[in-house]
Amino acid sequence: MKWFDRITSIDRRIIYILLTVLVILPFFVNVNIPQKIMPQTQRLFDFIESIPADDKAVMISFDYSPQTMPECHPMAQALLKHCFARGIPVIGLSFDPEAPGLALDALTRVVHEFDSLAMSREDSLIYGVNYVYLGWKSGRIAAQLDMGESISGVYPRDYFGNPIDSLPLMHKVRNYKNIAIVVILASADYPIDWIRYPQTRYGVKVGAGLTAVMAPQYYPFVQTGQVSGLMSGMKGAAEYENLVLAHGYARTLGTAETGMNSQSMIHILIMVFIALGNLGYFFSRRSRKGTK
Protein backbone atom coordinates (compact mmCIF):
# COMPACT_ATOMS: atom_id res chain seq x y z
CA MET A 1 0.00 0.00 0.00
CA LYS A 2 1.34 3.37 -1.00
CA TRP A 3 1.87 6.15 1.55
CA PHE A 4 -1.06 8.24 0.33
CA ASP A 5 -3.37 5.25 0.60
CA ARG A 6 -2.24 4.68 4.19
CA ILE A 7 -3.04 8.23 5.36
CA THR A 8 -6.52 8.06 3.86
CA SER A 9 -7.29 4.83 5.68
CA ILE A 10 -6.02 5.48 9.22
CA ASP A 11 -7.72 3.21 11.75
CA ARG A 12 -10.34 5.23 13.62
CA ARG A 13 -9.15 3.68 16.90
CA ILE A 14 -5.83 5.47 16.44
CA ILE A 15 -7.70 8.76 15.99
CA TYR A 16 -9.76 8.17 19.15
CA ILE A 17 -6.65 7.28 21.17
CA LEU A 18 -4.87 10.45 20.04
CA LEU A 19 -7.94 12.56 20.87
CA THR A 20 -8.13 11.03 24.35
CA VAL A 21 -4.42 11.62 25.00
CA LEU A 22 -4.61 15.26 23.92
CA VAL A 23 -7.71 15.90 26.05
CA ILE A 24 -6.00 14.53 29.17
CA LEU A 25 -2.43 15.75 28.56
CA PRO A 26 -2.85 19.43 29.61
CA PHE A 27 -4.17 18.32 33.02
CA PHE A 28 -0.83 16.62 33.80
CA VAL A 29 1.71 18.46 31.64
CA ASN A 30 2.19 22.23 31.57
CA VAL A 31 1.14 23.14 28.04
CA ASN A 32 1.40 26.83 27.21
CA ILE A 33 -0.77 27.88 24.26
CA PRO A 34 -0.98 31.71 24.10
CA GLN A 35 -4.42 33.27 24.44
CA LYS A 36 -5.40 36.32 22.41
CA ILE A 37 -7.39 38.62 24.70
CA MET A 38 -10.68 39.65 23.09
CA PRO A 39 -11.66 43.34 23.40
CA GLN A 40 -14.83 42.67 25.41
CA THR A 41 -12.88 40.68 28.03
CA GLN A 42 -10.26 43.42 28.24
CA ARG A 43 -12.99 46.02 28.74
CA LEU A 44 -14.44 44.18 31.72
CA PHE A 45 -11.00 43.74 33.27
CA ASP A 46 -10.15 47.40 32.72
CA PHE A 47 -13.42 48.50 34.32
CA ILE A 48 -12.74 46.45 37.47
CA GLU A 49 -9.16 47.72 37.42
CA SER A 50 -10.39 51.34 37.41
CA ILE A 51 -12.51 50.97 40.58
CA PRO A 52 -10.75 52.62 43.55
CA ALA A 53 -9.98 50.17 46.36
CA ASP A 54 -12.57 50.10 49.17
CA ASP A 55 -14.68 52.74 47.40
CA LYS A 56 -17.67 51.00 45.86
CA ALA A 57 -18.54 47.32 45.84
CA VAL A 58 -18.86 44.92 42.92
CA MET A 59 -22.12 42.98 42.85
CA ILE A 60 -21.89 39.52 41.28
CA SER A 61 -25.07 37.74 40.30
CA PHE A 62 -24.31 34.01 40.23
CA ASP A 63 -26.95 32.68 37.84
CA TYR A 64 -25.44 29.57 36.28
CA SER A 65 -26.24 25.92 36.86
CA PRO A 66 -24.12 22.76 37.29
CA GLN A 67 -24.48 21.96 33.57
CA THR A 68 -22.56 25.12 32.64
CA MET A 69 -20.15 25.06 35.56
CA PRO A 70 -17.05 24.37 33.36
CA GLU A 71 -17.59 27.67 31.56
CA CYS A 72 -18.94 29.97 34.27
CA HIS A 73 -17.24 28.73 37.46
CA PRO A 74 -13.72 29.76 36.31
CA MET A 75 -15.16 33.19 35.42
CA ALA A 76 -16.47 33.57 38.96
CA GLN A 77 -13.17 32.59 40.55
CA ALA A 78 -11.06 34.82 38.29
CA LEU A 79 -13.36 37.79 38.90
CA LEU A 80 -13.33 37.23 42.67
CA LYS A 81 -9.53 37.03 42.70
CA HIS A 82 -9.33 40.32 40.82
CA CYS A 83 -11.72 42.11 43.17
CA PHE A 84 -10.21 40.76 46.40
CA ALA A 85 -6.63 41.41 45.28
CA ARG A 86 -7.53 45.05 44.64
CA GLY A 87 -9.40 45.44 47.92
CA ILE A 88 -12.81 45.79 46.27
CA PRO A 89 -15.72 44.46 48.40
CA VAL A 90 -17.96 41.87 46.75
CA ILE A 91 -21.67 41.33 47.22
CA GLY A 92 -23.01 38.09 45.76
CA LEU A 93 -26.58 37.08 45.06
CA SER A 94 -28.50 34.69 42.82
CA PHE A 95 -31.75 34.58 40.90
CA ASP A 96 -31.21 31.07 39.55
CA PRO A 97 -32.32 28.51 42.17
CA GLU A 98 -29.50 26.12 41.19
CA ALA A 99 -26.77 28.70 41.72
CA PRO A 100 -26.31 29.21 45.51
CA GLY A 101 -24.19 26.09 46.02
CA LEU A 102 -21.93 27.06 43.13
CA ALA A 103 -21.63 30.64 44.38
CA LEU A 104 -20.58 29.45 47.83
CA ASP A 105 -18.07 27.03 46.31
CA ALA A 106 -16.43 29.80 44.25
CA LEU A 107 -16.32 32.16 47.24
CA THR A 108 -14.96 29.48 49.58
CA ARG A 109 -12.20 28.43 47.17
CA VAL A 110 -10.98 31.97 46.50
CA VAL A 111 -11.25 33.11 50.12
CA HIS A 112 -9.31 30.02 51.26
CA GLU A 113 -6.59 30.74 48.71
CA PHE A 114 -6.21 34.33 49.91
CA ASP A 115 -6.38 33.46 53.60
CA SER A 116 -3.72 30.76 53.20
CA LEU A 117 -1.27 33.56 52.32
CA ALA A 118 -2.47 36.02 54.98
CA MET A 119 -0.03 36.94 57.75
CA SER A 120 -2.64 38.44 60.08
CA ARG A 121 -6.37 38.99 60.49
CA GLU A 122 -6.04 42.34 58.72
CA ASP A 123 -4.70 40.54 55.65
CA SER A 124 -7.52 37.98 55.71
CA LEU A 125 -10.84 38.16 53.92
CA ILE A 126 -13.56 38.54 56.53
CA TYR A 127 -17.17 37.67 55.84
CA GLY A 128 -19.41 40.68 56.32
CA VAL A 129 -16.49 43.07 55.86
CA ASN A 130 -14.88 42.11 52.54
CA TYR A 131 -17.69 40.06 51.05
CA VAL A 132 -21.31 39.08 51.60
CA TYR A 133 -23.50 36.48 49.94
CA LEU A 134 -27.17 37.45 50.02
CA GLY A 135 -28.50 34.21 48.56
CA TRP A 136 -31.32 33.34 46.18
CA LYS A 137 -34.40 35.48 45.60
CA SER A 138 -37.50 34.85 43.51
CA GLY A 139 -39.19 37.56 41.44
CA ARG A 140 -35.95 38.88 40.04
CA ILE A 141 -37.26 41.92 38.15
CA ALA A 142 -39.06 43.32 41.19
CA ALA A 143 -36.04 42.54 43.36
CA GLN A 144 -33.63 44.20 40.92
CA LEU A 145 -35.70 47.39 40.87
CA ASP A 146 -36.29 47.46 44.63
CA MET A 147 -32.56 47.18 45.34
CA GLY A 148 -32.19 50.58 43.68
CA GLU A 149 -33.91 52.01 46.76
CA SER A 150 -32.76 49.60 49.48
CA ILE A 151 -30.86 46.31 49.31
CA SER A 152 -31.84 45.50 52.88
CA GLY A 153 -35.49 45.96 51.93
CA VAL A 154 -35.13 43.08 49.46
CA TYR A 155 -32.70 41.01 51.52
CA PRO A 156 -33.38 41.60 55.22
CA ARG A 157 -31.13 38.61 55.95
CA ASP A 158 -28.21 37.11 54.10
CA TYR A 159 -27.93 33.49 52.91
CA PHE A 160 -26.78 32.34 56.35
CA GLY A 161 -29.61 34.05 58.21
CA ASN A 162 -27.57 36.99 59.50
CA PRO A 163 -29.50 40.29 59.72
CA ILE A 164 -28.21 42.60 57.00
CA ASP A 165 -27.76 45.43 59.50
CA SER A 166 -25.30 43.25 61.45
CA LEU A 167 -22.86 43.12 58.51
CA PRO A 168 -20.39 46.07 58.40
CA LEU A 169 -20.15 45.99 54.61
CA MET A 170 -23.89 46.52 54.25
CA HIS A 171 -23.69 49.70 56.33
CA LYS A 172 -21.71 51.18 53.43
CA VAL A 173 -23.64 49.54 50.60
CA ARG A 174 -27.26 50.64 50.79
CA ASN A 175 -28.32 50.62 47.13
CA TYR A 176 -26.96 50.91 43.60
CA LYS A 177 -25.29 54.25 44.42
CA ASN A 178 -22.69 52.21 46.31
CA ILE A 179 -22.27 49.57 43.55
CA ALA A 180 -19.62 50.18 40.88
CA ILE A 181 -20.87 47.45 38.55
CA VAL A 182 -23.14 44.42 38.54
CA VAL A 183 -21.53 41.41 36.80
CA ILE A 184 -23.98 38.68 35.82
CA LEU A 185 -22.49 35.19 35.41
CA ALA A 186 -25.21 33.26 33.64
CA SER A 187 -26.13 30.37 31.41
CA ALA A 188 -29.49 31.93 30.46
CA ASP A 189 -30.84 35.30 29.39
CA TYR A 190 -30.49 36.99 32.80
CA PRO A 191 -28.40 40.08 31.83
CA ILE A 192 -31.16 41.54 29.64
CA ASP A 193 -33.32 42.20 32.71
CA TRP A 194 -30.51 44.18 34.35
CA ILE A 195 -30.14 46.24 31.17
CA ARG A 196 -33.87 46.86 30.74
CA TYR A 197 -34.74 47.73 34.32
CA PRO A 198 -32.02 48.69 36.88
CA GLN A 199 -29.75 50.21 34.23
CA THR A 200 -32.55 52.19 32.59
CA ARG A 201 -33.94 53.46 35.89
CA TYR A 202 -30.82 53.81 38.06
CA GLY A 203 -27.95 53.90 35.57
CA VAL A 204 -26.40 50.68 36.89
CA LYS A 205 -23.23 49.59 35.11
CA VAL A 206 -23.59 46.03 33.82
CA GLY A 207 -20.95 43.42 32.99
CA ALA A 208 -21.45 39.78 32.10
CA GLY A 209 -19.88 36.34 31.89
CA LEU A 210 -21.92 34.10 29.63
CA THR A 211 -21.73 30.68 28.04
CA ALA A 212 -20.35 30.63 24.50
CA VAL A 213 -23.78 30.08 22.92
CA MET A 214 -25.32 33.00 24.85
CA ALA A 215 -22.58 35.60 24.48
CA PRO A 216 -22.96 36.64 20.79
CA GLN A 217 -26.40 38.14 21.32
CA TYR A 218 -24.88 40.56 23.86
CA TYR A 219 -22.09 41.86 21.60
CA PRO A 220 -24.31 44.73 20.35
CA PHE A 221 -24.84 45.79 23.98
CA VAL A 222 -21.06 45.88 24.45
CA GLN A 223 -20.71 48.06 21.35
CA THR A 224 -23.33 50.52 22.59
CA GLY A 225 -21.78 50.64 26.07
CA GLN A 226 -24.81 49.17 27.82
CA VAL A 227 -22.61 46.22 28.80
CA SER A 228 -19.27 47.43 30.16
CA GLY A 229 -17.46 44.17 29.41
CA LEU A 230 -18.11 40.53 28.66
CA MET A 231 -16.47 37.14 29.20
CA SER A 232 -17.54 34.72 26.48
CA GLY A 233 -17.52 31.03 27.35
CA MET A 234 -14.49 29.09 28.52
CA LYS A 235 -12.26 31.19 26.26
CA GLY A 236 -13.41 34.38 27.97
CA ALA A 237 -12.76 32.79 31.36
CA ALA A 238 -9.26 31.75 30.26
CA GLU A 239 -8.57 35.26 28.97
CA TYR A 240 -9.60 36.79 32.29
CA GLU A 241 -7.45 34.26 34.15
CA ASN A 242 -4.47 35.31 32.02
CA LEU A 243 -5.10 38.99 32.71
CA VAL A 244 -5.40 38.39 36.46
CA LEU A 245 -2.16 36.36 36.45
CA ALA A 246 -0.29 38.88 34.27
CA HIS A 247 -1.13 41.70 36.69
CA GLY A 248 0.07 39.70 39.69
CA TYR A 249 -3.34 39.13 41.26
CA ALA A 250 -3.04 35.33 41.19
CA ARG A 251 -0.28 32.75 41.58
CA THR A 252 -1.50 30.25 38.99
CA LEU A 253 -3.92 30.00 36.11
CA GLY A 254 -7.32 28.42 36.67
CA THR A 255 -9.17 25.51 35.14
CA ALA A 256 -10.41 27.45 32.10
CA GLU A 257 -6.87 27.78 30.75
CA THR A 258 -6.36 24.02 31.07
CA GLY A 259 -9.67 23.36 29.33
CA MET A 260 -8.79 25.73 26.49
CA ASN A 261 -5.41 24.04 26.04
CA SER A 262 -7.21 20.69 25.63
CA GLN A 263 -9.60 22.20 23.08
CA SER A 264 -6.78 23.91 21.17
CA MET A 265 -4.72 20.71 20.92
CA ILE A 266 -7.74 18.76 19.69
CA HIS A 267 -8.48 21.43 17.08
CA ILE A 268 -4.87 21.26 15.88
CA LEU A 269 -5.09 17.47 15.64
CA ILE A 270 -8.33 17.68 13.65
CA MET A 271 -6.75 20.18 11.23
CA VAL A 272 -3.77 17.87 10.80
CA PHE A 273 -6.04 14.92 9.94
CA ILE A 274 -8.06 17.07 7.52
CA ALA A 275 -4.84 18.16 5.80
CA LEU A 276 -3.56 14.55 5.62
CA GLY A 277 -6.89 13.31 4.27
CA ASN A 278 -6.94 15.91 1.52
CA LEU A 279 -3.29 15.30 0.70
CA GLY A 280 -3.85 11.55 0.46
CA TYR A 281 -6.96 12.04 -1.69
CA PHE A 282 -5.09 14.41 -4.05
CA PHE A 283 -2.18 12.01 -4.62
CA SER A 284 -4.34 8.87 -4.87
CA ARG A 285 -6.53 10.59 -7.47
CA ARG A 286 -3.44 11.73 -9.35
CA SER A 287 -2.05 8.19 -9.22
CA ARG A 288 -5.25 6.71 -10.64
CA LYS A 289 -5.21 9.18 -13.52
CA GLY A 290 -1.58 8.29 -14.26
CA THR A 291 -2.40 4.58 -14.61
CA LYS A 292 -5.12 5.11 -17.20
Look at the pTM and tell me if it is higher than 0.75: yes
CB 132 within 8 A of CB 91: yes
CB 78 within 8 A of CB 254: yes
Per-residue pLDDT of the chain (292 residues; tens, 9 = 90+): 576 667 777 778 888 898 888 888 877 877 777 778 999 999 999 999 999 987 899 999 999 999 999 999 999 999 999 999 999 999 999 999 999 999 999 999 999 999 988 777 778 999 999 999 999 999 999 999 999 999 999 999 999 999 999 999 999 999 999 999 999 999 888 999 999 999 999 999 999 999 999 999 999 999 999 999 999 999 999 999 999 999 999 888 788 888 888 888 888 888 888 888 888 778 777 776 666 5
CB 242 within 8 A of CB 263: no
CATH 2.60.60 for domain 36-253: no
DSSP H/E element including 8:
none
Non-local CB neighbours of 131 within 8 Å, separated by 6+ positions: 84, 89, 90, 91, 92, 107, 111, 125, 169
Q: Cα–chain-centroid distance for residue 3? A: 46
Helix, strand or coil for residue 79?
A: helix
Non-local CB neighbours of 14 within 8 Å, separated by 6+ positions: none
> Torsion angle of alpha carbons 72, 74, 77, 78, nearest 10°?
-110
CB 136 within 8 A of CB 98: no
